[in-house]
Amino acid sequence: MLPESQNPAPQDPPSQVRRLPPLLRKSWYGLNQAFRRRIAHTGVTPDQFTALRTLIEANPDGLTQRELTALMSSDPNTVASLLERMESAGWIERLPHESDGRAYRIRILPAGHTQFDACRVIAIALQTEVLQVLQPDDRERFLSQLERVAAACRLAADQSPRAQR
């Protein structure tokens, strides 16, 4: 083994090497910025759209904040702040949970459906535009593979020890 002073410094991989984290980050950031700009006139943010979509696709009786947080792959503080703004805007309501006195059921209101519908058209158009870079036969395969990668990332996070505070 070489003395530390003679060990070569780790080299950055060549620029042509594809690395998952920067590619996912660039993809997410670009898509998020494009969507944010395209829906700005509606007053809805991308995170609010995600919350509305999740509520619409979920149990018609509503979700708890914990369930919504998990389904959105977000953190509790972000979702709490998001829900406060959405409730103030009249897009959602929080009703007492039927069996858990500490929880609320979050349900989407008609105004939230209206906002979602306006943004959904834009979201579908953007997704179609972005996926045009792939051959039609490759699009579903790509989304399926990306879903598997997302599940593997979630599993890795769940299996990783939490930092001690």
Burial class (CB in 10 A: 0-12, 13-18, 19+), 82: buried
The answer, yes or no, to whether residue 131 has pLDDT greater than 80, is yes
Q: What is the DSSP string of 49-72?
A: HHHHHHHHHS-TT-B-HHHHHHHH
Mean pLDDT, residues 46-63: 92
User: Which pLDDT score is estimated for 57?
Assistant: 93
Mean pLDDT of the chain: 89
User: Which pLDDT score is estimated for 26?
Assistant: 95
The answer, yes or no, to whether residue 138 has pLDDT greater than 80, is yes
User: Which pLDDT score is estimated for 5?
Assistant: 52
CATH tag, 44-140: 1.10.10.10
User: Does residue 73 contact residue 154 with C-beta atoms inside 8 Å?
Assistant: yes
User: Which pLDDT score is estimated for 165?
Assistant: 64
The answer, yes or no, to whether residue 13 has pLDDT greater than 60, is no
Which pLDDT band, with edges at 50, 70 and 90, does 3 fall under? low
Which pLDDT band, with edges at 50, 70 and 90, does 8 fall under? low
**Distance separating alpha carbons of residues 46 and 32, to the nearest angstrom:** 7
Q: What is the DSSP string of the chain?
A: ---GGGSPPPPPPPTTS--HHHHHHHHHHHHHHHHHHHHGGGT--HHHHHHHHHHHHS-TT-B-HHHHHHHHT--HHHHHHHHHHHHHTTSEEEEE-SS-TT-EEEEE-HHHHHHHHHHHHHHHHHHHHHHTTS-HHHHHHHHHHHHHHHHHHHHHHHHSPPPP-
pLDDT digits (tens, 9 = 90+) for 78-120: 999 999 999 999 999 998 888 887 888 999 999 999 999 999 9
Which pLDDT band, with edges at 50, 70 and 90, does 50 fall under? very high
- For the chain, which residues make up each domain, given as ranges? 44-140
